[in-house]
Amino acid sequence: MQLYKLLSQNLFFNLKFESRKRNVIRMGYINVYTGPMKCGKSQRIFNELKRQLIAGKNVKIFKPLLDNRAGDDIISTRSGNSIQAINIKDISELENYDADSYFIDEFQFLQGDVSTIDKMTAKGKKFYIAGLNLTSEKKVFGKMGDLLCIADNIEMMTSICEVCKCEEAVFTYFKGHKDTDIMVGDVEYIPVCRECYNRLITKNYKDISIKKSSTNNCNPAPFGKILVNDFKYQYHF
């Protein structure tokens, strides 16, 4: 009889515990893909978006109103993928949309406070965000610094250096003169490695001759040319 009571109590406790578990809201998370221009950040968002759609999740895709390179409400990748997105100006506007997962491209152009995203993750919302971490002057770009501080997962991506062709481009260089701090563009910017970036900004844009160095991994492509500030620069072995 006592054994029966113990088993009954244990069964009741387990059922009650399972009921509580089902009512608990699981925390969301923030995944950030960042790095220089042309490193595949937007493509990473597309890959995850496809997975979420296959899983039948309710998703919403956003882009900054400021970025209209591919169209007013279009996100596109360099591999040819494109999708319609919701234009927003401020991070707080995300609260106006209900979804399981939120996808945001070019986050660096958004205004507002990242605390909005932090609060939404506490309600189980998931975020997949792509953006430049640095400006072409190597300064923190917009709210990206604040976002990285609260992110669960950060993927630091690299690109191919357009000067020496190494696979360690971590900076973005602007080929021209900036009239404002934030200047939306594409072909005006190139991804470069640390060594090439330093050479480009310290040579005063004159007769840049980049040679293979035995002390680093910077291996310039032979007889290449880049256009910077309307000057042609030769680099060779």
**Residue 106 belongs to some domain of the structure:** yes
Kindly state whether residues 152 and 45 are assigned to the same domain.
Answer: yes
- Boundary of a domain, candidates 156, 182, 209: 156
Instruction: Report the CATH number that the domain containing residue 72 is assigned in CATH.
Output: 3.40.50.300
Based on the domain organization, do 54 and 133 belong to the same domain? yes
Is 169 within 8 Å of 39 (Cβ atoms)? yes
pTM summary value = 0.73
Q: Which residues contact 101 (CB under 8 A, 6 or more apart)?
A: 52, 57, 58, 59, 60, 125, 126, 127, 128
| pLDDT of res. 1 | 53
Do 131 and 181 share a domain, yes or no? no
> Residue 2 falls within a domain, yes or no?
no
User: For 32-82, what is each residue's pLDDT tens digit?
Assistant: 999 999 898 988 988 999 899 899 999 999 999 876 654 566 666 656 667
100 and 64 part of one domain: yes
Side chain identity at 123, as an amino acid letter? K
Cβ neighbourhood burial of 164 (10 Å; 0-12, 13-18, 19+): buried
Cβ neighbours of 199 (radius 10 Å): 19
Residue 205 counted as domain residue? yes
State the DSSP code for 149. H
Tens of each residue's pLDDT in the chain, 237 residues = 554 454 455 544 454 545 444 555 688 999 999 999 989 898 898 899 989 989 999 999 999 987 665 456 666 665 666 778 899 999 999 999 999 999 999 999 999 999 999 999 999 999 999 999 999 899 999 999 999 999 999 999 999 999 999 999 999 998 876 665 555 555 688 999 999 999 998 864 444 444 434 344 555 444 334 444 333 333 332
Nearest to 158 by CA among 199, 128, 197, 188: 197
Please check whether residue 193 lies inside any domain of the structure. Answer: yes
Residue 115 lies in a domain: yes
Range of the domain at 215: 171-235
Clarify whether residues 134 and 45 are in a common domain: yes
Same structural domain for residues 140 and 178? no
Whether 61 and 112 map to the same domain: the answer is: yes
Angle ∠(193,114,52) on CA atoms, nearest 5? 80
Count of structural domains, the chain: 2
Q: Is residue 220 part of a domain?
A: yes
Same structural domain, 183 and 148: no
Give the C-alpha separation, 134 to 140, whole Å. 5
45 and 80, same structural domain? yes
Mark whether 89 and 176 lie in a shared domain.
no
Residues 38 and 152 in one domain: yes
For residue 197, tell me if it sits in a domain.
yes
Q: Given 104, 121, 156, which residue is the final one in a domain?
A: 156
Do 194 and 128 lie in one domain? The reply is no
Domain membership of residue 13 (yes or no) is: no
- Tell which of 156, 188, 212 closes a domain: 156
